[in-house]
Amino acid sequence: MTDFQITILGSNSAIFNHGRHPSAQFVQIQNQHFLIDCGEGTQERMHENKVKWFKIDYIFISHLHGDHYFGLIGLLTTFNLLKRKNKLTIFAPKELKKIIQQQLKVSNTTLNFDLKFIATQTDDKYCILDIPECTVYSFPLNHRIPTTGFLITSKTIQRKLDLEKIQQFQIDKTQYKFLIDGEDVLDVNGKKIKNSWVTQKGKPTRSYAYCSDTVYDVQIVQYIKNANLLYHEATFLHQDKVRAKETMHTTALQAAQIAKKAKVQKLILGHFSSRYYHLSELEEEAKTVFENTALAIEGNIFSV
Ligand SMILES: [Zn+2]
């Protein structure tokens, strides 16, 4: 397990078909656990993939087409039945709050944990969550109803002191913070101690961008520039580009063009139309433009 990874739970568009499920992804970043989108059956998918779903404290819903949130009320009710106590925060279009409240009300359910809704906006990029492990931004996508993508950026993991090695030198403890910042320091006798002698490497910031659903739109590039990993919907093959435009979806070729323009390191294609049983054609098509492309096969884990 790495410190920042994505598990694909569902990657089919609209309906369950060919053994593929509606959209959902589980994100683990250090000790934080997120769910992005929650199509029908997401609970079951999380059980099957043995992710730590009970540790989820933040849920991000891209938009209110049913294949992206119909699993939510079931998950919330399960949390309640299992006597969850921790607060849960859901980032979603503002109408979701009313929908969930109504579902809870008519079933006479009172949650025994705090449920907080934060409404997403589709006019610009916004920082919606800032915690020690990462920062999360929402940004507008271009779909039939208000939709946002999400960008999760890990924070720099500082250098670590190598306590065994540090004992071999006479370094005053007041110097430790400079070592963590990567600087060389002086020992108590004024002798230079190189940073690399007594610390272990930290990790630079990394980012994961989630773009589902959207028509091909180069405006998105500015929000996801240089991401280490990009999930972009590729509902159709380019031969069906007219249908893609009508339904405000993207083709595999177009997703690859976005990845190339945004200079991301790796592209994952998902949100596949049920018209395709074999997905290799989508992958091959994208690779003609952007080589480092993979399919969002359910159960697969991608490290950021
Ligand atoms: Zn949609």
Domain ranges (residues) in the chain: 4-156+205-303, 160-200
User: Above 90 in pLDDT, residue 202?
Assistant: no
**pTM for this model (two decimals):** 0.89
Active-site option among 67, 123, 184, 240 = 67
- CB-count exposure of residue 163 (10 Å: 0-12, 13-18, 19+): exposed
pLDDT value of position 209: 98
Chain centre distance of CA 186: 42
pLDDT value of position 201: 87
Distance CA 223, CA 251 (A): 20
pLDDT value of position 4: 95
Q: What residues does 4 pair with on adjacent strands?
A: 29
240 is catalytic: no
**Distance (Å) of CA 290 to CA 173, 176, 248, 287, 297:** 49, 44, 22, 5, 18
Q: For residues 95-106, give the mean pLDDT.
A: 97
Cα of 195 from ligand 1 centre, angstroms: 50
Cα of 143 from ligand 1 centre, angstroms: 7
pLDDT value of position 1: 77
Nearest in space to 215 (alpha carbons), one of 286, 151, 140, 294: 140
Cα of 206 from ligand 1 centre, angstroms: 27
Cα of 162 from ligand 1 centre, angstroms: 49
- Domain range 4-156+205-303, CATH architecture: 4-Layer Sandwich (3.60)
Cα of 113 from ligand 1 centre, angstroms: 30
Per residue in 176-200, pLDDT (tens digit) is 999 998 899 999 999 999 999 999 9
